[in-house]
Amino acid sequence: MADHAHIVIGGGISGLASAHYSLHAGVDTLLLEASERPGGCIHSSHFEALNDFWVEAGGHTCFNSYGNLLGIMEQIDLLKLTTAKEKKSYKLWSKGKRSGILSALHIFELITALPGLFRVKKAGKTVAEYYGKVLGQKNYQALFSPAFRSVVCQDADDFPAEALFRKKPRRKDVLRAFTMPSGLADIPSAIATQPGFNVRYGAQVHRISAANQGEGIRVELQDGTHLSCERVTLAVPPDVARTLLSEAVPEAAKAIAGVGVAEIDTLVLVFERSKLKVEEIAGLISVDGAFLSAVSRDFLPDDRYRGFAFHFPGGQLSETEREQAACRAIDASVDDIVAKAQVHNRLPALRRDHMERIQALDSALASGQIAVTGNWFLGVSIEDCVTRSRSEHERLFGAVPTAPVAQ
């Protein structure tokens, strides 16, 4: 007998959604997460000493088009806590100055290029090829390439155009863009603490393989222990998935051999409101700065503090250099930092042929008991993760029930 019917590896939103769906389908499920908290890239940094002021160090906004995520939130009674974000503008950071986004726009070129939106197909094109055509080359170079880079925290020019901004239906009964009272991390935390949800933290998986007769799949942890299960869902970044699949489904591992990962060093800084002169902003899109982008906490203003998360390319600058670069961009003094946090984020680096790789992966997985989900299938947004988790759940366990199941 296997230890569990289903083991989910990885406790970001993809793994949490997978485990949520199987829990609600009545399947005995265990989630194994390497770190000490749920949420992965959804990470609201809290500062207890500052009245529990928080800043988003990763994902910061959910939308009313996130239908599958909203479905899960509804099941655990979380929709009532969605919190409106105040509208603030993003600014460009270029040549050592902040400026309005419109200042970089070539209006005439935009007007002449825009009809391409109805003609040019996204499929098979990179972001640079597609958006260069429908927005104009000058606009793309001056504004949209840096803006897309700031969305995916890495150069987005070679991303498949299909993986950026998929149109999804909106729910009119939900706030258009929302956060949660203590940050988006309220969502993973509520999923992981619902009754019956079985999760183990500090559980890094390093190998999966066929188990003994009748025991299904063997899952080995870094600490030397192992578990067995009938079905496994991998909800980890592509490089980790490749390693874990290499023995269990070598064809699947081969299919995703070239999928890269961007490493991102995120620096969260908090200041006394009274010490900062910079106007309230949604964040910064960096054109030529040392950082890729910055997101502020100004969308939910606090009387006393202001906070920012600056995202830097991984491993390139020292902590001091990062602090200096960040403070320069918001006219702040390093001496005025009242709290800070360092967070490491990882996002997939997708390329033009990505959709073919996913097709090959899906064919290799088709008749087996292993599912793979994450932010590297439909796109990187939180909803893309949940949507993939749902379809993989349905492949292994059948359709997701629409009404909440009593606990």
Ligand X SMILES: Cc1cc2nc3c(=O)[nH]c(=O)nc-3n(C[C@H](O)[C@H](O)[C@H](O)COP(=O)(O)OP(=O)(O)OC[C@H]3O[C@@H](n4cnc5c(N)ncnc54)[C@H](O)[C@@H]3O)c2cc1C
- Residues lying near ligand X in the complex (CB under 6 A): 9-15, 32-35, 40-42, 58-61, 153, 204-205, 235-237, 240, 264, 311, 345-347, 374-375, 380-382, 385
* Cβ-contact 237, 376 below 8 angstroms: yes
139 sits in the region (left: phi over 0; alpha: psi -120 to 50; else beta) called alpha
Q: How far is the CB of 400 from ligand X (least distance, A)?
A: 18
CA distance 219 to 211: 9
Nearer to ligand X, 2 or 55 (CB): 55
In what helix (H) or strand (E) does residue 326 lie, and over which residues does it extend? helix 319-329
Nearer to ligand X, 41 or 174 (CB): 41
Q: How far is the CB of 326 from ligand X (least distance, A)?
A: 14
* Cβ-contact 351, 124 below 8 angstroms: no
Nearer to ligand X, 147 or 235 (CB): 235
Other C-beta atoms lying within 10 Å of the C-beta of residue 308: 26
Q: How far is the CB of 295 from ligand X (least distance, A)?
A: 7
Strand partners, 178: 62, 84
Residue 341, both tokens? 């946090």
> What burial class does residue 79 get, using C-beta atoms within 10 Å of its C-beta: 0-12 exposed, 13-18 middle, 19+ buried?
middle
Nearer to ligand X, 85 or 106 (CB): 85
Nearer to ligand X, 176 or 273 (CB): 176
Q: How far is the CB of 63 from ligand X (least distance, A)?
A: 8
Q: How far is the CB of 348 from ligand X (least distance, A)?
A: 8
DSSP annotation of 153 reads T
Q: How far is the CB of 329 from ligand X (least distance, A)?
A: 16
Selection from 300, 66, 72 nearest residue 174 by Cα = 66
CA distance 234 to 365: 12
Nearer to ligand X, 166 or 328 (CB): 166
